Structure 1
Amino acid sequence: MSLNGESSLAKPLTAEDLPEAVLEQAFHWAVIMGDTQVTSTDRKGFQDWLHAHPQHQAAWQRIQVIEQDFALVRRSAKRSSVTLKRLKHLRRERRRLKLGATLALLLTIGLGSWLGGKSWRHDYATGVAEQALLRLPGGALVHLNANTTLDIDLTAQGPQLYLHNGEILVESASAAPADKPRVHTREAVFTPVGTRFLVDHAPGSSELAVTDGKVNIEAQGHRQLSVAGERWRVDESGVHLQTGAGLTPGAWTDNLIEANDARLAEVLEALGQHRHGWIHYHQDVADLRITGVFRVDDTDSALASLEHTLPIQVQMVTDWLVLIRQK
């Protein structure tokens, strides 16, 4: 016990606790120690830095976790010919048992999500750089963006979609009123009125963007009608109309990011959904504004375009680590 009566065990450091300068140092040592020409002097310098402060060890552990995750993706690709066939079979059986023949799935499976096992915890799951398209009974379409998990209940009054994480786009204009899917998140329920809309769910908040028609928002005992062109955010403080430009809702269904005077941070976060590894940017470039169109299936070209357009430097440290700082 410590002198003040509290446990002397230190609370583990998380990535959010680490100063940006320490993370930068960890990236620097990752490059040096990953070089085939590393010297004994380099190794000693690394060990001295690593043991100089607990934050250094926490930062290095964070780097190792990212590298291991990326290595897993590469190893998974080598097992694809056998594993993918088995997963397709198991998933067909699971869908047959739970949903019968009422739900048609149009999906290109990527190994990143399925090998992690999350497809068994939820009805549908996409990983990094993956998208999916579902056709519901009655004709409504549901697009899943990358890193999205979704459950579907067809036994209730009309299709009920439970979005646990990520972003979906719902097209329900052609569906009858009883077949229009309601979207549930932790913060709200979104009910369409002959419409096309997106719901983006992250820890602590849900965002709605309506591109056609209307959507009713039910949250915290209140109802709010949203019309085409509006964007709303729901969190513990209430339901808030969002203003200003940004990313065009749903452009990712065409493998695009369309930025209209958007914050660079917003564009980089969107690109990160479609790139294995980690895009790390300094806070002094987060609020730079950008207008342009970028392909999510060619993130290298998108990052090069950003570097050409903005006063930033993009450093490809490794295949899985990108650093972005001000020039």
Structure 2
Amino acid sequence: MTDTPETLEDRARRTAVEWHVRLTSGAVSAETAAAFAAWRRADAAHERAYQDIAQLWQDLPEPLLADRRRRLASAKRRRASGVLRRGWSATAAASLLLAALAGFYPDYLQHPLADYRTRIGEQSSITLADGSIVHLNTDTAIDVSINGNERRIELLRGEAEFDVAHDAARPFRVAAGSATTEALGTRFVVRYDDNGGAVTLLQGKVRISQPSAAGAQTDSATLQAGQQLAFTADRLGTPQTAELSSADAWRRGRLLMNFVPLKQVIAEINRYRRGPIRLLNDRLAEREVNIAVDIQNIDAWLTALEQTLPIKVVRAGPLIFLRS
């Protein structure tokens, strides 16, 4: 299979992160320095990727840089006092690298063996063996099990819309954590992370069930079209009226949010960006806004945001900071 430009860019950036961690975590041998120089010369994309990472560290706001300096100073003091065992540098570098990769590429580390998955910024549609269609949103993973008695989807993380084919003999169920949604001939959206999620019914009817906290019985609720129900690991919420135009706007490449704090908007947008946007001002975070964002052109929205509100957009490599 031929690599796409996006794949090559991701690979160059991941390797650049590895090199930066390796070069800043301790003494560098002549062989390592030579290998690094050869890697940079091998491809212009390598040089660009490393410059982006190096610029990122230089441009980080002072609080983040101060925290990094404190961590490095603490490590040096422990090493000088003999607390650290031999080989600490390699272990520390590996830990820093894992943290760096988790920050830039969390989707690469999540559910690598799932039946179907999308990475950050990707969306895809899958037709199952029974004719049902599953639309996967950004950073989503599912497992699929279809047999003679049941059609069962496990939403491991992320968000998916289900357009269920009618089959009276085989119930269609979506498990997300401890909550299970059973379709009664329908189209619905389920969103889930480790802390909980929500079910939004676009058409038809669904029944949501979950073992009660006491474990002696099962809690359940039935949704009608146009309703949404949030859930946590141990509790079902109550059905609420949903804004259907916003609930599945991502299927049309849009994000629509009305009268919500900017911090909530940024958290949603960050689901679609590998380099996260960070707010540097608490008052700014609480400011209510209305947005309509093209998922494929988030930078244009950031430019418009800077032009219409008293907000400064600071770009630092793959990271973006917002301040008043």
TM-score (norm 2): 0.64
What residue is the counterpart of 1:97 in the other structure? none
Q: After the TM superposition, which of the residue ranges 197-206 and 300-309 deviates more from structure 2?
A: 300-309
Match of 2:205 among 178, 202, 214: 214
What residue is the counterpart of 1:101 in the other structure? none
Distance across 2 between alignment mates of 1:294 and 1:30 = 30
Which has more helix, going by share of residues? 2
Structure 2 spans left out of the alignment, 5+ residues: 1-52, 76-92, 212-217
1:1-327 → structure 2 map (5 Å cutoff): 31=55, 34=58, 49=66, 53-54=70-71, 116=108, 120-155=112-147, 157-172=149-164, 174-178=165-169, 181-220=172-211, 221-241=218-238, 248-282=246-280, 283-318=282-317, 320-325=318-323, 327=324
Distance across 2 between alignment mates of 1:197 and 1:289 = 28
**In structure 2, what residue type is equivalent to 1:53?**
R
Distance across 2 between alignment mates of 1:263 and 1:276 = 22
Equivalenced residue count is 243
What residue is the counterpart of 2:34 in the other structure? none
Question: Residue 269 of structure 1 aligns to a residue in which SS?
Answer: helix
Q: Is the 8 A contact 1:149 1:164 kept in 2?
A: yes
Distance across 1 between alignment mates of 2:311 and 2:250 = 24
Question: Residue 257 of structure 1 aligns to a residue in which SS?
Answer: strand
Q: Is the 8 A contact 1:140 1:179 kept in 2?
A: no
Distance across 2 between alignment mates of 1:236 and 1:68 = 28
Question: Residue 238 of structure 1 aligns to a residue in which SS?
Answer: coil
Distance across 2 between alignment mates of 1:288 and 1:149 = 33
**In structure 2, what residue type is equivalent to 1:196?**
R
Higher relative contact order (CA 8 A, sep 6+): 2
Structure 1 residue 53: Cα displacement: 3.1
Structure 1 residue 125: Cα displacement: 1.3
Distance across 2 between alignment mates of 1:245 and 1:270 = 17
Q: Is the 8 A contact 1:165 1:201 kept in 2?
A: yes
Q: Is the 8 A contact 2:56 2:316 kept in 1?
A: no
Structure 1 residue 158: Cα displacement: 2.8
Question: Residue 130 of structure 1 aligns to a residue in which SS?
Answer: coil
Distance across 2 between alignment mates of 1:51 and 1:253 = 40
Query: Percent same amino acid among aligned pairs?
Result: 23
> After superposition, what is the alpha-carbon deviation per residue over 1:238-278, rounded to whole angstroms, capped at 9, x for unaligned?
21136587781111111110122233223222221221212
> After superposition, what is the alpha-carbon deviation per residue over 1:189-232, rounded to whole angstroms, capped at 9, x for unaligned?
00112221111111121211112121100012111101122111
What residue is the counterpart of 1:81 in the other structure? none
What residue is the counterpart of 1:3 in the other structure? none
**In structure 1, what residue type is equivalent to 2:145?**
D
**In structure 2, what residue type is equivalent to 1:265?**
K
Structure 1 residue 148: Cα displacement: 0.8
Classify 1:69/1:227 alpha carbon distance in 2 versus 1 (closer, same or farther; 3 Å). Answer: same
Classify 1:242/1:193 alpha carbon distance in 2 versus 1 (closer, same or farther; 3 Å). Answer: closer
